Structures are given as C-alpha cells and as structure tokens.
Structure 1
Amino acid sequence: MPPLHVAIVWHMHQPDYRQPGQEEALLPWVRLHALKDYLHMAEVAAAYPQVHVTFTLVPSLAEQLQAYANGQLQDRLQRLIQQPYFSPDDKRYLLNVAFSIQWHIIRRHPPYAALLDRRPLALLNPDYFSEQTYRDLIVWFNLAWTDPTLLAQDPLLQRLAQQGKDFDDASIAALNARQLQIIGQVLPTYRRMQAQGQMEIITVPFFHPILPLLVDGEIGRRPSAGLLLPTPPFRFPADAAGQIADAVTLHTGLMGLPPAGMWPSEGAVSPEILPLAAAHGLRWLASDEAILGRSLDHFFRRDASDSVDRPDLLYRPYRLATPQGDLAMVFRDHNLSDRIGFTYQHLGGEQAAEDMIVRLKRIHHQLRGQSTPGLVSIILDGENAWEHYEHNGDTFLHALYRRLQEDPDLQAMTISEHLAAHPPTAHLPELASGSWIRGDFTTWIGDAEHTAAWQRLRDLRQAYEEWLAQAPPPAQAAAVRRYIFAAEGSDWFWWYSHRNSSDQDALFDQLFLDYLAAAYQAMGQTPRLFKSGRQDEAFYRAMWD
C-alpha cells in the first residue's frame, strides 16, 4: 500500500503597508513577521530534510522584504524610535501599536509587563510616559515580536532583554541593524531550500486581490444570491490577468524559476480565472474543499472522528481544461487546515502533532486498496497562528515534522512533486465560484461599505481607461496602474467587512484612500472623496485637506 502524500502549504501574506510614493510603511507587520515567522518557519523545516513543504510568497510582501533588507523602506516605528521627542499623535499611535501583541507574550518579559500595567494611566494622559519610556516601549515591542529561540540565542538580543530599560541610541541602532540582517536572510533561505528540492515556492496574485471580483463583481452573487453590488459592478478582467502576470514576473526574477503553482488569494476561484492562470504558465491552483463539494454537487460529511464520507473525492488532484491548456487543481482539507490554524493552539505541541498524525493515518487507512497515493492538502496561514502556540509553534512544528519524517505510511511532499509522479486523471467539468471562507465572497463584497468602495474603484478604473486613450507617458501610466492594483488588493475590504475589525482600522482606511487619491493625482485629476463611514469627519478632513 503506497504511503499517503501530505502536502503542507504555508501561506505567507501581509498587505502592502507602504504609502503611495513613500519609503515608509504605516504599520510594521512585514518587518515583525520576518523576525518572528518568515525565517523561523523555513529553518524549522530545514531540520527535517525528508519533509518537503510549500510556501507561498505574495509578491507585494516580497517587495517589502527586499526594501527593508536594502534599507529602502522603514516603518513608522523605526522612524519614531530615532526621534528625541514624540508628538501627542505619536504617543497615541505608540500606545496602540506597541502593545499589539498577545498579552501573555508581554507577561513573559517583566519590564514589558510593567509598561502594560501602567498603560491605562498613559491612555488617560499620554504624557504619563516619559520620552525614554516610549523608546523603551518600542524596543520591548520589537524584542517580543522576535522568534523566541533567536531571542534566547542571539548575544545582542539577549543583552538588550537583560538590560530591560533605558536603551540608548547605540543600542537602538544595533537592534535595527541586527533586524535588517535577519530580514535579509529570508529570501536567500527560501531560494536555497528551493534549490535543495525541499521547498516549493508558489505565487499569489501580486497585491493579493480577490481575482473573481476583479473579473466581474456579479460573480459574487453565484454563491450568494441577491448580494448588494454597485450598478454596474466592477468588471475589469484585464486587471485580474495583470495581477497574475506581474506576480509571475516578480517571482521568476526573485526565485530564479517561474512558479508552477498559485494559491489564488483566499482560495477565491471561479471558472473565469482558470484561462488567465494557464495563459501565464501556471500549472496548478488550489482552493478549499467547499469549492470542490459544490463543483461536484457533493457535500462532504464528516463522522464523529471528522473523517470525510468520500475520501476518494477529496484526496486527489483534478484536471480542468482551458483554451490555454489544462490546469491541475487541489482542494485543501478544511478541517485539518483549521485544526492547525485555530484548534491546536489550545493543546500542547506534542499532543497536537500526535492528533494530526493519527488523523492522517486514519485517512491512509480509508484509502487502502488504492494503487495511487492519496494527496491530503493542508493549506493555511503560515504566520498568524503561532503567537497563540507554545513557544511560537516550535514544539508543535518539530513534533509534526519529526513524525512525518519517521512514519512509513506518510510522505510529506510538495504538490508539484505529487503531480509530476501522479498527473490528475479525474476531470472536473465545472468549477464552482467562491473562497475558503464559507465558500463565498461576502467577506469582501456585499456590505454597504463594500458597495461604496467597489463603486469608487470602478469609477477610478473607468477614468484610467479614458485617460489611457490620451496616450500618456508609459512610466506615468505604469504608476497609475500600480496604484489601482494596490487599491484592488487592499486589506480594507477584509477589515471593513461587518465580520472583521482591528485596532488599526483607521490606518487601513487611510492606505486605501491614499491609493485612490494617488491614482487620480498621477493622472492630473482631482481625487473623488470617499468615506468608509467608520471614522469621524475630522479624520477625513485631515486626510484630504
């Protein structure tokens, strides 16, 4: 009986936090996840050479990593820590952002915990913290966001943690330099592991947009009849094709090889995106089991042990025909993916890994008698879960990879490796439209705020078409196109869904509006005012005046 093939895909994504035309990021999450997750995830996998894994690399994220490493990008926190004093707005920003980490992590570090305990008084009166205290706060925020194994082993980071407070300019400069060194190791490490055959790196549409909604907003109504949309809807399939083309180009330049596969942002697919992907040389895509179930008109039922009723349907690749050539598609096991993403954080790492192995071996047993190995696709966010785990996920990941490497019934491999050995024989005649979240698009379209935003994007995109007819200089046209593409992929659509919110909603509002305004201004036109309705009038006056 052949071993069960297990394809783990870690999705690395942060949105573009750069303001248009600026070399400063409004939020520091790209830099901080590089310190805590992007390098760490690769290094853990590298310790188990027989475990092959897949990483996604969102192109706009890769650009930001490069810019940080080259000293061409800094975020607001990096700039603030170099200032001798802080404005009232700076202090409010720091009291929000510099505590944006799980508080149980803050409690591991007594000097940082002491600042957290004093925070309520500082929120009432930001001058309660001295200028030095704010600098200490920024340093501790950076240290706490570092991979804890690295924090315990790196001499400089150890020294700063032991010092605890009163960090001077020299210490701050040394910390920043060390962080840039760490960030600079991320992409070379990925390339090395790709060359060694242990890691497959796949792409994502350039700015992480929801491709079907760029092709035609009406697609949003396929899984959600009656969904609120602007009239007419946003309908620019060339933008979906452009986001794929730009992604393939940047990925090829960075990694030295064109990507074989693509994770469409949020697993969002529709039949219309298939020929666009095939036309740009992609050979396979991935989505969620809910999409496969609707495509086959089969609802995957699970028994008391969470085993699916038709493992032969879920645990295999499919072939889809397009005018530009065939594509393969795989569909993730939603339950196993969510167990890592959400459930296992409540268990010890060893116990969680054992539970996953037991479930995989149960699937292997279900597929007994098959001559072709089954393929279980586990696809999830590779960065946001670990702050809830024991030791940043280290215990779980090491235990999982060790068991996968040792178990003869399981073989961890990349999706391309499986497809090369076992090309799909099952044909999927029709692909349903939807995403991994509830199998629909309602996270990004359908709310009143969404409708207003898509209408503004549609108007901007139409203005761009009319402006292009005037034959503007190519460089100017490319700049406007980039601003539009960035707005299409903005995380604004995620955070302004009625289901989601964050402490930084106003900053996502600002970034989205900045890109709309920058596109109009680059065309020599007056920006058209858009208000999400989530902020007060003073916020919009400050932005647009």
Structure 2
Amino acid sequence: MLNLAFIFHMHQPYYKNLLTQESDLPWVRLHGVKDYLDMVQILEKFPKIKQTFNVVPSLFEQIEDYNNGKVRDKFFELSKKPADQLSQEDKEFILKNFFSINNDKVISIFPRYYQLHAQKLHNQEFSTQDYLDLQLLFNLTWIDPSFRQNTPELRNIALKERFFTEQDKEIVLNKQLGILKEIIPAYCLYKQNNQIEISVTPYYHPILPLLCSTNIAKEANNKTVLPKEEFNYPQDAKDQIDSAVKYYKEKFGSHPSGMWPSEEGVSEEILPFIIKSGINWIVTDEAILFKSLKAKKRVTKLLYQPHLLKRKEGQLNIIFRDRNLSDLIGFSYQKMKEKDAVDDFMKHLKNINKTFKGKDILVTIAMDGENAWEFFRNDGHDFLELFYQRITQAPFVKTTTISEYLKNNPAKTEIKKLSPGSWIYADFGKWIGNPHKLKAWEWLEEARRAINETKNPTELAWKQMHVLEGSDWFWWAGEDPDGSFDRLYRLHLTNLYKLIDRQPPEYLLSPLTP
C-alpha cells in the first residue's frame, strides 16, 4: 500500500510593532481569509483524506491579535476609512498597495478591478467612487472563493460588480474578521475528529542550526562566507522550541508529536533540544537524507520510509519529503489544466506503487500551504477537489498522518549522523552568505550581545529578541523587492534597543540593502 502523507506548512513573519501594536503589512489577515481556514474545511467533502497541518505559533498568535483587537493593521484602517474622507497621502498609499494580488488569476477576472488597474497604469484620475470600489475589491478578492460563493452577502456584493457603498465595504471587512475567528477552532475540531494532525514549528520561525552557530553554514556548504562574528546562542534555539511546544499545548490541549523545523533546517546540534522537548518526529528534505547516508544517487527505497535518530538524549523519528512531487504541486501544476495536473500526479503515484510492487511505503508531500494557491485558477479549489477525489478513489493509495503511520510502521533504519542543511539546496545559503545577509547576522549578534549585557531585561525585550531571530529577515536581505522586510527588520532591532534602554545604532537609520 502506498501511504501518502501531506504536510502543509502555514507561516507568516512577525509583522507587529511591539511598541505601538501596529502592523504595516496585512499578510496575516489576508492569507488568513484566503488560505488557513478553507484548506482545512475542504476536507469535510473528503472524509477519507487525512493530512498534517504545520502551524507556526507566531502566526497563530498574530491571528489571535486580530481576534482580540490587539493589532492595528494600516491596510485595514485605510480600508475602513470612508472614501470621501481619504487624504492625498491615503489615496497614494491605496493606489500603490491595493492591487497587491495576482493579476492573471484574480484581478483579470473581476472586470471593475481590471478597469481600475488599467486606470492606474495609465495614470488616470480616480474619483471617490473609484477609491471606494478599489477599497472593497482589494479586500473582497483576497477572501477565498469558497467563502465568496457560499456567503449570500458576499455573493451579492460580487455580483454587483461596481458602484459599491460604504455599507457593502463594511460587510466585506466584517466577514474577514469573522473568518479569522473561525481558524483556530476549525483546526481544533478537525484534529479532534482525527482527520488532521497538527505539527508545530519553533515559535518565531528561526533557522535553529544557525542560532546554535552560524559556522554550521560552512559545514553544509564549504563555500559559504561567514559573518565577522559568530552568532552562537544554542539556548535561544532551545527557547524557541520549548515556547512552541508550550503554545501548542495551550491551544490544542495536547503535546505535539511532530515538528517542522523552520525551512526544514536541521543539524546534529538541534537534536538534543527537540528530543528533550518530547517531540516524536521531524520532517526535512530528501537531499538531507542522501547527504547523511552519503548516497551517490537518489534511492527511493531509502526515501519512502521513516528513519530513526538515536542519541544519548533519546530517540527521534525523521521523515524526508519527496521534493519532486512536492514541487510539482507547489510550482508546476499551476501552469496546467486541473485534469492534466491530477492525471500527471496519479501517474507518478502509480509508477511508484508499481516499482515497490504494492509494498507498504510512505510518500511524503511537504510544502508551503498558502502561497502556491494564488497561482492556481480559483485559488486552487478546482485542482484540490479533483485531486482529493481521485486519491480517494485510488485503490492503491491511502492518505495518512505522520503519527498514524509511525504508530503502525515504526522506523527500522538508523541515521548515525545527520548532515546539516535545509530544504533549499541542502544548505543555508538562502539565509547567510551574501554581503547583505552577513550584515543582518552581524547586526543580530550585536543586538544579542547587548541584551546579554543588560541587567534583568524585560519579558517584552526577550520577545523582541526572539522575533528578530526569525528566518524571513535573512531570506529577504539583499533580495527584498520593495524594502518592506528591510524596514521591518530595522524597526524590530530599533525597538529592541529601546526596550533595553540603549541608543539604537545609527546604522539602523539606513537600509540594509542600499
């Protein structure tokens, strides 16, 4: 039997300014209304499909901030503001930012939105009604199509197409807040019904091996250039793991079994912390498996089974994703017709099953659970519904959660030494190595040293420090298209210095990437 495990990873960086409770970026809210809820609820139609959803605690914390009114979202505030009261600065912000959604798959299928986009491109003047329609359409189109179709008020507003009212806009914005409130209860419900497993990532999504020592990057790839000063704080890696486990227990009422290390970044140094936290399994990329075993070619017999990491602290199961199959869904099938894409995937599964002659194997799909779908037609619903239907009907495939599989199929092969690396090229080059990323790490090390030298730092100061250890600031350093992550990283650093009563360094006034 081919056991198929899906692990969908849900993540956003920590956007909120801890000193002002403001967020300049809306992506927690917008992905919340587009991706996090419907990805679970779609399973109601397919009771035989089991999946694992990986959640990042700092993402769910930010969702709770919206639910509890603890964050002021600049995009939301400007969406609420009556169109006839918008200042010139407001209008410029809206024109710049309220077309931030997929043009081909979304804007182009809403005639009025498409018209407004053309007006902007041709520098044509916007009327008050134009701004009102834009405020509404930006927020309406980010709501998942299933909610737009199944909610009568939203369906009627969408059918109206244009000449929206302030009351229409209020309905859309209130619906967004309502969807956000449903997310965590839905995950709890589907977990309770045993249709999904929920795994967890270290709290603020740090690259654990790099927290233990940035020098590990050179072991993963000896061509990597290292920062001038080593970042070497393994205690922070432990804290990020332990706080994630604590949050999970508070929200889901049980101890997590699985962990997706941020960016599937692993090393020997992080294993004791994970084992001691009580985690039973982790997932990473297939390239780490083959590096660890010094395999010279891709051996699927090794890939399609769990492995065991026995260490003096205890033992830990490790699962390796099939990168090819995961990337087909994540990056390739968006360019194909839904039927052709599903046919192609099922052909791959049939070939795998044929190769193993019906033996019991575990094929793991581990991928981003949110960003892929906006590149599919209808936000991926047409693909996923056909996909789940075909998998349900296939006699040789059974979907499973990771813990369910391990319970019945304990790992038999052991990995003596785990090679360091991530799910991107089996190294850490996406987060360290170029001059801008090196500077970001050097700034972080200086800040970490400063809080270490501070007498009795507050809990909020430590929270800010751990936020700064998140992977996204380093991912985007030197590659930030509009500078928003650069600004946010410098804002978080500035706030840290304020929280420990130190003058922020002057270099934080200038962009990391000139």
Query: Do the aligned partners of residues 534 and 231 (structure 1) sit closer, same or farther apart at CA in structure 2, a change above 3 Å counting?
Result: closer
Deviation per CA, 1:468-525, whole angstroms, max 9, x where unpaired? Answer: xx3x2xxx5211111011111052211224xx443xx322112111111111111111
Partner residue in 2 for 1:305:
none
Where do residues 197-216 of structure 1 align in structure 2 (5 Å cutoff)?
197-216=194-213
Partner residue in 1 for 2:235:
238
> Sequence identity, in percent?
38
Partner residue in 2 for 1:116:
117
Match of 1:495 among 449, 456, 476: 476
Matched, 1:515 2:492: yes
SS of alignment partner, residue 326 of structure 1: strand
Give 2:91's aligned amino acid.
K
Give 1:481's aligned amino acid.
W
Deviation per CA, 1:145-204, whole angstroms, max 9, x where unpaired? Answer: 111122122122122223334433333222221111111111111110000000000000
The TM-score normalised by the length of structure 2 is 0.95
Partner residue in 2 for 1:78:
76
Query: Do the aligned partners of residues 489 and 88 (structure 1) sit closer, same or farther apart at CA in structure 2, a change above 3 Å counting?
Result: farther
Mapped contact 2:440–2:512 kept (Cα < 8 A): no
* Alpha-carbon distance in structure 2 between the residues aligned to 1:89 and 1:246: 41
Where do residues 183-222 of structure 1 align in structure 2 (5 Å cutoff)?
183-222=180-219
* Alpha-carbon distance in structure 2 between the residues aligned to 1:220 and 1:286: 19
1:135 is displaced (CA, Å) by 3.0
Matched, 1:329 2:318: yes
Mapped contact 2:431–2:471 kept (Cα < 8 A): no
Match of 1:69 among 45, 48, 67: 67
Matched, 1:423 2:396: no
RMSD over equivalenced CA pairs, Å:
1.8
Aligned length, in residue pairs: 510
Partner residue in 1 for 2:132:
135
Mapped contact 1:230–1:455 kept (Cα < 8 A): yes
Partner residue in 2 for 1:359:
348
Mapped contact 1:311–1:366 kept (Cα < 8 A): no
* Alpha-carbon distance in structure 1 between the residues aligned to 2:69 and 2:229: 44
1:229 is displaced (CA, Å) by 1.8
* Alpha-carbon distance in structure 2 between the residues aligned to 1:87 and 1:246: 43
Deviation per CA, 1:419-444, whole angstroms, max 9, x where unpaired? Answer: 11111010000101111111111110
SS of alignment partner, residue 375 of structure 1: strand
Give 2:111's aligned amino acid.
P
Partner residue in 1 for 2:11:
13
Mapped contact 2:480–2:486 kept (Cα < 8 A): no
1:210 is displaced (CA, Å) by 0.9
Deviation per CA, 1:349-407, whole angstroms, max 9, x where unpaired? Answer: 2221221122112111222274xx21111000111111111221112111221122222
Mapped contact 2:330–2:372 kept (Cα < 8 A): yes
* Alpha-carbon distance in structure 2 between the residues aligned to 1:464 and 1:262: 28
Give 1:280's aligned amino acid.
S
Match of 1:316 among 305, 308, 321: 305
Query: Do the aligned partners of residues 464 and 238 (structure 1) sit closer, same or farther apart at CA in structure 2, a change above 3 Å counting?
Result: same
SS of alignment partner, residue 321 of structure 1: strand
Give 1:119's aligned amino acid.
K
Matched, 1:176 2:176: no
Mapped contact 1:102–1:387 kept (Cα < 8 A): yes
Gaps of 5+ in 2: none
Query: Do the aligned partners of residues 135 and 494 (structure 1) sit closer, same or farther apart at CA in structure 2, a change above 3 Å counting?
Result: farther
Match of 1:409 among 372, 396, 400: 396
* Alpha-carbon distance in structure 2 between the residues aligned to 1:478 and 1:293: 42
SS of alignment partner, residue 320 of structure 2: strand
Query: Do the aligned partners of residues 93 and 494 (structure 1) sit closer, same or farther apart at CA in structure 2, a change above 3 Å counting?
Result: farther
1:133 is displaced (CA, Å) by 2.5
Give 2:21's aligned amino acid.
E
The TM-score normalised by the length of structure 1 is 0.90
1:534 is displaced (CA, Å) by 5.7
* Alpha-carbon distance in structure 2 between the residues aligned to 1:178 and 1:243: 33
Mapped contact 1:8–1:414 kept (Cα < 8 A): yes
Partner residue in 2 for 1:268:
265
Partner residue in 1 for 2:276:
279
Give 2:504's aligned amino acid.
P
Query: Do the aligned partners of residues 66 and 300 (structure 1) sit closer, same or farther apart at CA in structure 2, a change above 3 Å counting?
Result: farther
The range that moved more, 351-360 or 424-433, is: 351-360
Gaps of 5+ in 1: 302-309, 537-545
Matched, 1:45 2:26: no
* Alpha-carbon distance in structure 2 between the residues aligned to 1:93 and 1:13: 26
* Alpha-carbon distance in structure 2 between the residues aligned to 1:157 and 1:417: 39
